[in-house]
Structure formats: C-alpha cells, structure tokens
Structure 1
Amino acid sequence: MYTLAVTRNRIEKNLKLIRQDIVAVAQRVGRDPAEVSIVAVTKAVDVDTIKNVLDAGLLDLGENRVGQLTSRVEDIDAYVKRRRNPLPGPVRWHMIGHLQRNKVRPTLACGATIHSVDSLRLAEEISQRARKAKLTVDIMLQVNCSQEQQKHGIAVGAGGHLAEMIAAMPNLRLIGLMTMGPTGADPQESRNSFSRLKFIFDEIKKAKIGGRAFRHLSMGMSGDYTIAVEQGATILRIGSALFA
C-alpha cells in the first residue's frame, strides 16, 4: 500500500532546501521564518520513512485518512519507546484530510490536531466526544477559499460567524484556519486564495474570537508553499517536496 521509501539523507537534503525557501520568502516580506512550521504529509510513504522524518528532526506528522492515522500512531509510538536516544520533543499528529463524524472518536484517541473542521455539525460532534473523553482538542476551521466544488470547506463568507460559534463550544480550542490552494493553479490564483484566508483570519482576530490560541494559518503544500509563506502561513503541509 505504501510504495515510497525515502532515506534519511534525502529527507534532510530536501528539508534543508525547503527551509532555505522559507527563510528567503519570509525575509523578503518582513516575516520571522521561525513563525513557520512544517507538517510532513506521510500518506504515501512507509513507516520506516516516517522514522527517518523523525530522525531528521521533523516531529509534526500529517495524515489524510483516519484508519492510516491510527495505525501510524501505534507504530510510531512503539518506535519512539524503543529508541535509545529520545527525540527532542513529542511527536505531534495532524489530521489534515476530510473527517466524517463517525470517525471522530478514533481521531481523538490519536491526540491529533484537526485541521479540517468544515461544518458546524462536525464541530459539535468533536465537542461532544471530547467532553465525554475529558479532552481539549485543537482544531482549525477549513475554508474553501478557491471556491471549487470538489473541495471541502465552508464558504468564504461564513468564516467569521462559524468561528465565533465553534470557539464557544466546550472542549474545543480554535487555533486557526486551513485551506487548500486551487488545483493546478497559476501562482496568482494561489496567491488570491491564500490572501482570502489571511483576510478572514485577520477579521476573526480583530473580533477577538478564539483568544490567544487563534494564531495559525494552515495553508501551502509542495507546489505552492512559498506563496503561502508570502501570504502569512504558519503551518505548511508538505509531502512530495520532502520525499522527492
């Protein structure tokens, strides 16, 4: 099922190039590069490659499917416990794909940050499950800034209203917004999409919704992460550029 195996050396080389890009763009637009973190999207690689990602110093791992997330968490937890040298910090899991309400419980069991909350009903389900489990769950509101029908996410105009409702739900911590760039887009289309999310983010921040926890923009993937950094991204979701 997982066809891609990538060495630690290759991951480290790619990671160095990605970080150089981040620094260059951030400096050009007057941002602190340290504000930008990378989530390694590991859906297409095997478990040994994920171990190499951790050994290369990347501790944020993202999965698109709940079943794969749960199995990976189990495998990596066992690996971390077996290591002679401890990692510099805990492994942080991110659910970045579409999440169905009937998959909320296993997702919460993984302790994952959920980037893809795309409806009020899903937020309510997460809140209810989290309350029963006595958890506080970090979530992001997914916005369909490219306005493509095949993409998940709330409408651009609904961002502020839904953010206010979700931020008030028990056992949820609204930490930011997420979007996916346009499919096959030219740079300007991607720029427009990310700019929309930044505008919504700023409006929510101005309204003091979510408090200090509301500080993240999860946007930018392998093909458009430099544009995302330019537009204010704090979390990049990178797969192929890391494993090429």
Structure 2
Amino acid sequence: MSTIALNIAKVGTRIREAAQAAGRSPESVGLLAVSKTQPAAAVREAFAAGLRDVGENYLQEALDKQAELTDLPLTWHFIGPIQSNKTRPIAEHFDWVHSVDRLKVAERLSAQRPAGRAPLNVCLQVNLSGEASKSGCEPDALAELARCVATLPNLRLRGLMAIPAPTDDPAEQHAAFARLRQLRDGLGLPLDTLSMGMSQDLEAAIAEGATWVRIGTALFGARDYGARP
C-alpha cells in the first residue's frame, strides 16, 4: 500500500471513530483532500486509493492539475480566497466553492456559470476569529449575505465554511465549530453543509456537525511551498 493510500485509510478511521463517538453516521462526513502544492501525480494516487473530492486554494495550480487529470471523474472544490477578476475560471471549472465571502463575488460566479452546467455549490466563509489576515464574512453581516446569495440563479447555497484560529485546546476547538453550526442553523435557510475541520482538529469539527473536513497534511505530508507554480 502506498503512503498516500495508507494515510487515507488512517484518516478514514479517524473520521469513522469521531462520527461514531458523536452518534453520527460516518457517511455524513465527506473527506476533502486539500492538494495545494502537491503534484497531479499525488492526486492520481489518492484517486486510486478511493478519494474523489479534491480541494484547491490556488487557481492556476488547480487549472494545471485539472488539465493533467481530465481522465479522472474527480469533484473539484475551490477553497481559497477569491479575487473578483478570477471568478470566471472558478465558475467554469469547479463543482463547489467553499470561500464566498462577499456578494460581488457570488454575483459574478452566478453570472459566469456556463449554461447547461448544474448550479455551482457554494459555502459562505465566515471569519469567526476576527483576524485581519483571514478572509471571510463577519458574523454580523452573514444573514444579509446569505439571503442575497440564496436568490442567485446559478448558485446553490449549501452552508458555511470557516478556518478558526489554530489551537490545541479541544474546548476552544469545539467552541469555534459549535459557533459556525449555530450561525448556520440561525439563518433559517435549508442548508446542509458545514465545511470545517482540518488535520489537527477534525475530531472536534465532526463532533460539532462538520459535513466536509478539509485534510491536506495528514494525507499528503508536509507541503513544499517552494514547489508552487
């Protein structure tokens, strides 16, 4: 068994055990492989081990990998910050976008989604910690943004995403993820998705209702940022 296949099996065990501990079905939690700075060959190896959902942060890197992997039936998720002038290729080449944080971006994604494609699944990114360096909508502005995005014709608003401030304290992890769940539930919209939890805190995220966990390091190993195009 390859290293990536072994890692996928290990993460799958973590997800299954965390879901069972929370009284949830393991099938209710999706594994999103975050492959930024990883070569297309690593994604191909992950696919061979059963992985089907791939998350990318950098647009050009993602498009290059997609071109190399056209033979694989992968579902592509864009999870990085979105520049307004980059919305067209995102609308054209992705199945999910987890990082919508302002109405202008959502409107452009809807307008630029190709005719005949299914609506683009989107999550609104929330800046839970108020960090200036983090993307995301402020919690106080979330309800109005969600209301507007839900009306756009070529998008399907699925839920919320967050990247909480890193901490090793399980109580703080749980509190951040619980807040995102409460924000989603308080919107009064038919939303089914919470994109939250990474390699170091997926157990807390699943306990609080995560439906996608975004895992990079635990699957592919440490990232080589110098390798990024």
Q: When the two structures are superposed, what TM-score results if normalisation uses the length of structure 1?
A: 0.85
Aligned-pair CA distance for 1:192? 1.5
For 1:1-244, what aligned pairs fall within 5 Å after superposition?
9-77=2-70, 79-80=71-72, 90-130=73-113, 133=115, 135=117, 136-204=119-187, 207=188, 209=189, 211=190, 214-244=191-221
1:140-172 superposed Cα distances (whole Å, 9 cap, x missing partner): 100111222211101112222211111011211
Q: SS at the partner of 1:177?
A: strand
Aligned-pair CA distance for 1:29? 1.6
Q: Distance in 2 between matches of 1:181 and 1:17?
A: 24
Q: How many residues align?
A: 220
Q: Which amino acid aligns with 2:154?
A: N
Q: Is the 8 A contact 1:116 1:140 kept in 2?
A: yes
* Cross-structure match for 1:87: none
Instruction: Give the structure with the larger helix fraction.
Output: 1
Q: Which amino acid aligns with 2:68?
A: D
Aligned-pair CA distance for 1:96? 0.4
Q: Distance in 2 between matches of 1:227 and 1:140?
A: 20
Q: Distance in 2 between matches of 1:104 and 1:110?
A: 10
Q: Is the 8 A contact 2:161 2:196 kept in 1?
A: yes
Unaligned runs of at least 5 residues, structure 1: 1-7, 81-89
* Cross-structure match for 2:226: none
Unaligned runs of at least 5 residues, structure 2: 222-229
Q: Distance in 1 between matches of 2:136 and 2:94?
A: 22
Q: Is the 8 A contact 2:160 2:193 kept in 1?
A: yes
Higher deviation after alignment, 93-102 or 187-196: 187-196
* Cross-structure match for 1:83: none
Q: Which stretches of structure 1, 4 residues or more, deviate above 3 A after TM superposition?
A: 132-135
